[in-house]
Amino acid sequence: MLFRSHPELHHNLLQVRRIAMHDAFARAGMTQADELIEQSLKVFMAARNEVTFYPEVTDCLARLSQRYALASLTNGNADITQMSIAPHFKAVVSAHTHGTSKPDPAIFHMTCRELGCEPHEVLHVGDDADLDVRGARDAGLHAIWMNRDNAAWAGNDAPDTVRDLLELEWWLAKAA
């Protein structure tokens, strides 16, 4: 319902949460809740950035960043610049700060510009078949599906697939 009434916010989950909280407080009779909502969102964002990484992530990102310019592209609102892995990334692109979200080709192209690359020079690795894989392909990038759950691909256009970053390293070494 909220997305239908505010389609312009589809890319800004933090603002969606803010509006939902305003609505909930208003229904409870609390019309002057702005300060409480902002404090709640600060607590949420701090907790949102406390991420437990898969076991291989930190070491693999360290190795990969020595050979490749890495970018983080997210529709979510976690702030990678607040995480221990931040130094491994040359670029950080998030939907809520760029005004559009995956699978829109524009956000993939923004990421390419941040990296100083053309789309055909960029490999996008993501776990969502439509938002990441098909979105990247539609934007002219090569895409790899990070399929940690061994899900079945729907369709005839199956991408290259890896289970984790260790397999991605192997795939990149083989492709080189």
pLDDT of 59: 98
| Residue-level pLDDT at 99 | 81
Phi, psi dihedral angles at 103 (to 5 degrees): -95, 15
Q: Which tens digits make up the pLDDT trace of 14-61?
A: 777 777 788 888 888 887 888 888 888 787 777 777 889 999 999 999
The alpha-helical segments, DSSP class H, found in the chain are 2-5, 13-27, 34-48, 57-67, 95-98, 105-115, 135-138, 165-175
Q: pLDDT (tens digit, 9 = 90+) per residue, 79-138?
A: 899 899 999 999 999 988 888 889 999 999 999 999 999 999 999 999 999 999 999 999
Tell me the whole-structure pTM to 2 decimals.
0.82
pLDDT at 60: 98
Greater model confidence, 35 or 172: 172
In this prediction, residue 6 carries a pLDDT of 62
∠ CA(58), CA(103), CA(172), 5° rounding?
40
